[in-house]
Chains A and B, each alone.
Chain A
Amino acid sequence: MSPPVPPELLTDDVSLLMVLIDTNPYFWSSIKQSFPFSKFLSDVLAFLNATLLLNQLNQVVVIATGYNSCGYVFDSAGLVNARAESCLPELEKFLKNDASMSTEDTVNGVGHSLLSGSLSMALCYIQRIFRSGAGHPQPRILCLHGSPDGPGQYVAVMNAIFSAQRSMVPIDSCVIGAQHSAFLQQASHITGGVYLKPQLLEGLLQNLLTVYATDMHSRNFIQLPKPLGVDFRAS
């Protein structure tokens, strides 16, 4: 952990950004042609670096949402001149571990990544920050998600959402897949985050910078996109 930042420096525009990236290999293989993973990674890393540059005290934590497991792959806390690229070796390690857990020979469909697990990890991290001392940056969670909702995770995801709502942590969601995610729509609706499904995936970076870079303080006076409707179905 980093040496504690003096609380008086933690103004209301200092963010703790928890980014959950979907690393479901089957999903990424399915859209290999239209939107390769490398393009996604490069957009996300650029966005993370931008976030770190926006405020020196900003903190970014990346959690990989895998097919079989979840894991922290990056934490900017304690790093001097942190660059998001340094998460790549960790990500490789995580994927190797995740792959070793798969037992099937072939997989039909894209499957579901463990959104509930990574959400819980993000909330745990935030809770630890909350309890660490007097001052803390304003936390928010950003889900970069592509896989379809896993119906079996419904209860777990909803529990995570309510827990986030209780600790006043907004869950922003950016859906990369082709269909809307009812889970994330509800998550953003309930916690007061932003839900967006970019029309143009090549412009993901622009979306991220325009919409998701706004810190909690600025959201008081910035008009962000609002969804026209929320799908409240269970799954």
Chain B
Amino acid sequence: MKKLESSNPQALSWCVTLAHQATGNYARLEDRLAGIEARLSGLELEQKVESKLSSCAGKILNSPSVASISGTKSCKGEEIGKHTMENRAIKAISVLDLSFEKQYMTDKQVVKPVYYKSSVKDPGVRGVLKMNKDRFVFTPSDPTSSVRLNVEFRTITGHRFTKQETKQGSKPPQCLLNLNQDQGGYLFQFDSFPDRDICKDFVARVLEMRDAGKAVSNKSATPVHDEQLSAAEMERRIKLLQENSELQKLHKQFVIGGILSEAEFWATRKKLLEQNSSRKSKQRVALKNDMWSTKPLSDGQSNRVTFNLTPEIILQIFAEKPAVRQAYLKFVPNKMSEKEFWTKYSRAEYLHSTKNVVAAAAEAAEDEELAVFLKRDDMLVNEARRKIKQVDPTLDMEADEGDDYTHLPDHGLSRGDEKEVLEPQYEPFKRSFSQYLNQHAAIVLQGRVVDVESGDTRSVAEALARTKQAELAKDVSDVDMDHARLERVSRMAEIEDLQAPSEPPVAPLSIKDPRDYFDSQQANALNTAAESDFCSTQLNFSIRPSLAYSWLNESITEIKTGGLADPLISSDVALKVFDSLNQSMSCTKFNVGRNPSDSVLDSLPKDTKEELLHHWTSIQELLKHFWSSYPITAKSLFSKATKMKDAMSQIYPKLQELKRTVQSDLRHQVSLLVQPMLQALEAAFAHYDADIQKRSSRNAGRPNGY
């Protein structure tokens, strides 16, 4: 307490003076003080503190103002004072309370005799547990024992403890405290529950302080809160905070600073969170761009070859090979089981991978179902044909860039020369790699057309078949297509001689007499000018050239003979010119802010600018919460409004200070910026006070009611 007094005498005296003025809810004050006392005694403070504190509490309760007001029904004004005073007193005491704790945390440690146990049933090792804010140390009573602990709190993830209440009939519980680590933990048994509770509270506070510190340092971590949040929700919030540094600042200031609760802070930002989540769900995983997913795995020793099929791969197979899909719908489960089907398919794949066309043909001849997999996919062929019909008919699909160079030796692609000679019966079993590659690429680019999450192979196959049919239905019929094709051919193969000469769509601009054109333009512009009357006199002006020139010459001779005008300029006129010049310059200077490209903020020093912006965002945040808590229907709303008001009244003097400390030449600009903020705050304060007044007058009969 001495320390506290020396370090924080103002806090104490403030508390006492406030207590003197406080005229409200004694019971609450008493509770509060009792709480502090209890904690202090728990932490084994000197008797002196207690006496000091109780005297302080006594002063509060016995202060003359309390007596005077509590005695009779007071008038309105005193009632208002009562409310605010009460709140301030409570706040003052909580400040005191907090400083006690802080003081205690930093320089104290807790020492208790305990049993260290490896499990609940284990009798444990007797020893002493010492805890300070960084670490806890267990020293066994038996110096020969090897069980020693020296653990830092930062590795501790949480703590658990047994309840004191006993169930009827069960044996009394052990006083246990369990400090959890990522792996395992430390179990201590205490001699008594008070001992345990002291340690428990200490650990809780250490962990809390550590978490708060962590939250500040990480900036993204959210403090432990009583409401339960899903991990996804938490993650979303953290992500938002990481993305938005301004939000992060506000969060740090208000939530970690304890002015707003986590839930309150996010309640006004639901939209942001939703946006974020919707953005997340919008993106779907595409198909894998991986072609060899069905590559057989051979162990190299036995003749066994393994294929791995996942729902993902099956979807890919179905999408890429319509014939397999069709076969699946046809055969499974009537003719064969799903397993048999895939075994057959794998066998066909294996045959293909050996590239032995003759063997494949032989196998196909034996097994009808297997032939489906081995033969060329007719559906694919049809589709390819359909696609080719849509291609520009004048395009030579077989030509390529290499054709330009075929007349040179060793250039271009030689086609047809090295073709394997294949008997016609094997032709359907040949499969070209480029076909496969193209088909795969097309499917991957097409993206995921059906949801595989259903997991059921059959439904996947059906869904794919349906989409394919829908696609086909969309296409025009063959007859129409042929017609369109012919039309296109005639359009593409345009014969120039037969075309009518095409007219340029727009008439070219031709100005016969530019002078005339521009003059009329200018006349239009002049009509809009303010000095139109003067212009008209000018335009109507007419003179003989010789006269005009001679007059100019006269002026020159005048100066040649008489010299420059004397005086050159009258001082009155000079002053007027000066004034108007100055005015126009200062005028443009003030107009700088109106130009949207250069803002007033940029002319301020960087620190001032950032401070202003920060105050602005925090005021906005606080005001938002403040006004959202009106009309006050519940006690919690009232306390929230009060909290907001207190936080705002802390910013208010800062703004005044900012206005005062800024350089004199910028003061005007800054005060222009600060003024609306101050006004907004004042409006909030005024509303708060008016509301309090209304409330207290309404509740005059019930002094403690809200």
Contacts and interface: CB of A to CB of B under 8 A. Distances in A.
B226 interface: no
B289 to A, nearest CB: 53
Contact of B551 (A32, A46, A91, A205): A32
Taking each of B515, B545, B563, B589, which has the highest tally of chain A beta carbons within 10 Å of its own beta carbon? B545
Contact of B569 (A29, A203, A223): A203
B564 to A, nearest CB: 4
Shortest beta-carbon contacts, A-B, top 7: A151-B518, A25-B548, A203-B577, A99-B549, A38-B555, A37-B555, A206-B577
Contacts of A91: 556
Contacts of B565: 38-39, 42-43
A205 to B, nearest CB: 5
A194 B515 CA distance: 29
Interface in A71-112: 85, 88-89, 91-92, 95-96, 98-99, 102, 104-110
A88 B518 contact: no
A202 interface: yes
A107 B525 contact: no
Given A203-B573, A206-B569, A109 B578 contact: no
A148 interface: yes
B552 to A, nearest CB: 5
Contact of B545 (A23, A25, A32, A207): A25
Contacts of B574: 203, 206
B557 to A, nearest CB: 8
B596 to A, nearest CB: 14
Given A29-B543, A152-B515, A225 B588 contact: yes
Nearest to B534: A178
Given A28-B551, A92-B556, A179-B529, A108 B542 contact: yes
Interface of A: 23, 25-26, 28-30, 32, 36-39, 41-43, 45-46, 85, 88-89, 91-92, 95-96, 98-99, 102, 104-110, 148-149, 151-152, 154, 178-179, 198-200, 202-203, 205-207, 210-211, 223-226, 228, 233-235
18 contacts: A25-B548, A30-B538, A38-B565, A41-B555, A42-B559, A45-B559, A46-B568, A91-B556, A92-B557, A95-B549, A95-B552, A151-B521, A178-B538, A179-B526, A202-B569, A206-B569, A210-B577, A233-B525
A225 B568 contact: no
Given A39-B565, A210-B577, A26 B548 contact: yes
Given A38-B559, A179-B534, A205-B569, A235 B521 contact: yes
A32 B547 CA distance: 13
A96 B581 CA distance: 38
Contact of B518 (A109, A152, A210): A152
A73 to B, nearest CB: 11
Nearest to B533: A178
Contact of B548 (A29, A42, A206): A29
A198 B576 CA distance: 11
Give the secondary structure class of B's interface: helix
Nearest to B537: A30
Contact of B538 (A25, A37, A39, A110): A110
Interface in B498-522: 514-515, 518-519, 521-522
Interface in B556-610: 556-560, 563-565, 568-570, 573-574, 576-578, 580-581, 584-585, 587-589, 591
Most buried by A among B538, B548, B560, B587: B548
Contacts of B542: 106-109
Contact of A178 (B535, B559, B568, B573): B535
Given A151-B522, A179-B526, A223 B548 contact: no
B292 interface: no
Contacts of A32: 551
Which of A25, A85, A95, A200 has the largest number of chain B CB atoms within 10 A?
A: A25
A37 B552 CA distance: 7
Interface residues of B, number: 53
B559 A199 contact: no
Contact of A210 (B547, B564, B581): B581
Given A39-B565, A106-B544, 5 more contacts: A42-B568, A85-B563, A95-B552, A107-B543, A234-B521
Interface of B: 514-515, 518-519, 521-522, 525-526, 529, 531, 534-535, 537-549, 551-553, 555-560, 563-565, 568-570, 573-574, 576-578, 580-581, 584-585, 587-589, 591
A30 B538 CA distance: 7
Contacts of A102: 545, 549
Contacts of B537: 30
B533 to A, nearest CB: 10
B665 to A, nearest CB: 13
B38 to A, nearest CB: 70
Contacts of B555: 28, 36-38, 41
A29 B581 contact: no
A210 to B, nearest CB: 6
A207 B577 contact: yes
Contacts of B549: 25, 95-96, 98-99, 102
A210 B548 CA distance: 32
B544 to A, nearest CB: 5
B564 A42 contact: yes
A100 to B, nearest CB: 9
Nearest to A226: B588
B586 to A, nearest CB: 9
B551 A41 contact: no
A120 B543 CA distance: 29
Contacts of A203: 569, 573-574, 576-577
Contact of A29 (B526, B547, B576, B589): B547
Contacts of A105: 544-545
B518 A200 contact: no
Given A92-B556, A99-B545, A109-B539, A211 B581 contact: yes
Contact of B543 (A26, A38, A207): A26
B519 A151 contact: yes
Name the residue in B529, B534, B547, B581 with the highest tally of chain A Cβ atoms < 10 Å from its Cβ: B581
Contacts of B521: 151, 234-235
A234 B547 CA distance: 33
A168 B403 CA distance: 57
Nearest to B546: A99
B148 to A, nearest CB: 75
B553 A92 contact: yes
Contacts of A39: 565
A28 B584 CA distance: 28
Contacts of A202: 569-570, 573
Nearest to B565: A42
A141 to B, nearest CB: 21
B569 A178 contact: no
A26 B556 contact: no
Contact of B515 (A29, A89, A151, A198): A151
Nearest to B554: A38
A41 B552 CA distance: 10
